[in-house]
Structure 1
Amino acid sequence: MVVGGGIGGLAAAIGLRRAGWQVTVLERATGLPVTGTGLGIWPAALRALGALGVGEQARRRGRPQLGGEFRRPDGSRIASMDMRKLIRRYGETVHLITRPALLAVLAEALPDGVVRFGTPVTDLAGLTDRYDLVVGADGLRSVVRAGLYGDRYPLRHTGTVAWRGVAPVEVAVGGETWGRGTKFGVTPEGPGRTNWYAVRTAPPGWRPAAGDLAELRRLFGDWHDPVPRLLDAMTPDEVLRHDVHDLTPLPSYVGGRVALLGDAAHAMTPDLGQGACQALIDAVSLAECLGAGVEVAAGLRAYDQSRRPPTQRMAVLARRAGRLGQVRHATRLRDGLLRLALAAGPPG
């Protein structure tokens, strides 16, 4: 039983079926989403999609990222992402794809009836009594994780709030602009559409008194193009806002016949764009570790040993990158550190 029909859950279902398992996915939503923001799928995650047999479909639904620049609010450049370096190192670049498109690719690889929509899970105990394996792919506030650990490893607020959405404006190349404790990012989605996101420092539960769109225009309205054009094209109901959290590191991603993956195991800040990517890699690793003839307990130990160290390192790096973006005063030092980090190369 896979709990959660998001990216990690559907990928796990595909991988486990290919490894010989009979799989059911329980998803609380009533169907696949038709709207959603964009994702950057890095080379390692593209390889994971290839291992699931859907790599080419995902590439066709998306588009290669041509580059990206980091700028200051006045438009001056801090640094550029060298996608040629990424291609030389890993053989290909990042591919941009919307979340709904990627979920559709994954869902199409599963037979009808595998995913049971509109079926929330509220308790882990009833599943472990009935299934040889339970996979918790149920996200940031995982019921499966709570069943294993209770509240011993809570979510941690990062000191930031984020907005995101899609605007009916076309930009050629994506990137981020860093202000003082603020950040605005864009990624092209396709003709006439651009994904955007914005971040500012804020305490838990903070809400802008004048409303989200008014706050965005106050913070970013005088920044360089295309930020004002995007803001002008937005309507209040198209703006999503949420506090940014990550997860206290877990001592194990497995317990008994239960495995956690994706945000349920290692929810990280979005600063490196690795959440969906790591969930895909988790899913492939889990399926590989639980192949034919492998005893479940041994396979789960191997999965934990394979995935917990690299994902927890990635979460630490993402948190540090997020803190760098919260700098309000030593911006020259911050910009220098950002250039050094990009020179070292992005996480493949």
Structure 2
Amino acid sequence: MKNKSFLIIGGGIAGLTAAIALQQLGLDVKVYERFPEIRPAGAGIMIAPNALKALARVGLDKAVQNQGYVSPRGIAILNKQGAVLSEISTSTQQYTTVSIHRAELHQILLSALRPGTVIFGKACSDCRQDNEGVTVTFADQSEASGDYLLAADGIHSAVRKKLFPSIKLRYSGYTCWRGIAPCWPNSDENSQFTETWAAQGRFGVIPLANERTYWYALVNGPSGDRRYAEYRIKDISQIFEGYHSPVVQVLSKTPDEKMIHNDIFDLETPEQFVSGRTLLLGDAGHAITPNLGQGACQAIEDALELARCFIQHSSVELAYQAFEMRRIKRTRAISQISLQVGKIAQLENPFLCGLRNSVMRLTPSSLQNKQMKDLFNVEF
């Protein structure tokens, strides 16, 4: 296996982490990223204990912890007035969930690769494979060839569309705005992650390192609505007017240019991640809704699980099969749970919202914490 070459399409979290893991096994890896450079744009992400445990295998858990914001208090689900509906632990004995800016995580990953591993400005336009290997054609008409292909080019994966056309996008029913405010939440609870559930919409407040706040807002609506894409901070503030502090305050300190918008899609549960010499990784294979904060975490898990399969099996083909069997089961379960959480969180009917809130208050925290521990319990 050591004499085989791997092309990775996509220089996001999945692609970079996979490249790190495979390079540490002594494999020949090249990453092709469509953008001309690592972009500073983006928002915050959550790196949960399961992903930190995976990153430890490539020696990067401490780097993420050092650059991120570690909250020892987990996440609180609040109602519109700020009353606690539920408090959920996001820690294990070994790790506590870290929030970090996506661009900063990208830089940590990029720095762990050998110089020249990532080639920028290479957007995949076509790919083909045969018994001899794989060839990728890029938008600039250049080509790259190798023995195997790892598709890590995100939810709108060009590779997946070509080789796995039966896997379709699925709209969640809600749209999302995200932003970074240059301040910490103006609250005594500034060390805690919070998410507020109410009929008008859902709002998350996540402290980041260096006195910044990552926030996200989700409301129900049709996909592709141009009005939502044109919203500015004042429009989001109107939706969430009357929500408890620091929701409106955080919004007021966010520049319009620091806000991004996208409809929330996931992928219908795939039956396969492998097609010949090609394997899907991260959102390219199993994009999930963000309701568990596991999108990036599952991409990181993919990379370390693939490395483990390469260690345990004598051929790439057998390793691919083992990866597919293990990862389809886990990502399918997480995707289904995340979908259900989203449906409950996005309720609009006032009666159903009240009923949900009452049930949440009465549900023992020990039960919810057990569910999270099950989610975090993974071996590499």
> Shorter-chain TM-score category?
over 0.9
Asked if 1:31 is matched to 2:37, the reply is yes
Counterpart of 2:180 (choices 149, 166, 175) is 166
The answer to whether the 8 Å contact 1:20/1:292 transfers is no
Which residue in 1 is equivalent to 2:4?
none
The one-letter code matched in structure 2 to 1:115 is V
| Aligned-partner Cα distance in 2 for 1:335–1:143 | 42
Asked if 1:221 is matched to 2:235, the reply is no
Which residue in 2 is equivalent to 1:59?
65
The one-letter code matched in structure 2 to 1:76 is A
The one-letter code matched in structure 2 to 1:62 is G
Residues 332 and 155 from structure 1, CA distance in 2 versus in 1: closer, same or farther, beyond 3 angstroms? same
| Aligned-partner Cα distance in 2 for 1:52–1:69 | 31
Which residue in 2 is equivalent to 1:5?
11
Which residue in 2 is equivalent to 1:123?
126
- Of the structure 1 ranges 321-330 and 158-167, higher mean CA displacement relative to structure 2 is found in 321-330
- Of the structure 1 ranges 61-70 and 304-313, higher mean CA displacement relative to structure 2 is found in 61-70
- Normalising to structure 1: TM-score of the pair? 0.93
The answer to whether the 8 Å contact 1:181/1:325 transfers is no
The answer to whether the 8 Å contact 1:163/1:239 transfers is yes
- Normalising to structure 2: TM-score of the pair? 0.86
Counterpart mapping for 1:137-152 below 5 A:
137-150=152-165, 152=166
The one-letter code matched in structure 2 to 1:334 is R
What SS does structure 1 have at the residue aligned with 2:85? Answer: strand
What SS does structure 2 have at the residue aligned with 1:169? Answer: coil
Aligned residues: 343
Which residue in 1 is equivalent to 2:227?
208
Deviation at 1:66, TM superposition (A): 2.5
Asked if 1:333 is matched to 2:352, the reply is no
Counterpart of 1:16 (choices 15, 19, 22) is 22
The answer to whether the 8 Å contact 2:233/2:252 transfers is no
Deviation at 1:337, TM superposition (A): 5.0
Which residue in 2 is equivalent to 1:87?
92
Asked if 1:188 is matched to 2:210, the reply is no
Residues 132 and 337 from structure 1, CA distance in 2 versus in 1: closer, same or farther, beyond 3 angstroms? farther
Residues 211 and 102 from structure 1, CA distance in 2 versus in 1: closer, same or farther, beyond 3 angstroms? closer
What SS does structure 1 have at the residue aligned with 2:29? Answer: coil
Structure 1, gaps ≥5 residues long: none
The answer to whether the 8 Å contact 1:4/1:138 transfers is yes
| Aligned-partner Cα distance in 1 for 2:252–2:26 | 52
What SS does structure 2 have at the residue aligned with 1:177? Answer: strand
Asked if 1:154 is matched to 2:145, the reply is no
Residues 154 and 220 from structure 1, CA distance in 2 versus in 1: closer, same or farther, beyond 3 angstroms? same
Which residue in 1 is equivalent to 2:48?
42
The answer to whether the 8 Å contact 1:169/1:229 transfers is no
What SS does structure 1 have at the residue aligned with 2:250? Answer: helix
**Structure whose residues are more often strand by fraction:** 2
Deviation at 1:181, TM superposition (A): 5.1
Counterpart mapping for 1:173-322 below 5 A:
173-180=192-199, 182-208=201-227, 211-291=231-311, 294-322=314-342
- Of the structure 1 ranges 26-35 and 111-120, higher mean CA displacement relative to structure 2 is found in 26-35
CA RMSD of aligned residues (A): 1.8
Which residue in 2 is equivalent to 1:114?
117
Q: Aligned residues: percent identity?
A: 32
Which residue in 1 is equivalent to 2:142?
none
Structure 2, gaps ≥5 residues long: 1-6, 136-144
| Aligned-partner Cα distance in 1 for 2:283–2:102 | 15
| Aligned-partner Cα distance in 2 for 1:208–1:295 | 51
The one-letter code matched in structure 2 to 1:87 is T
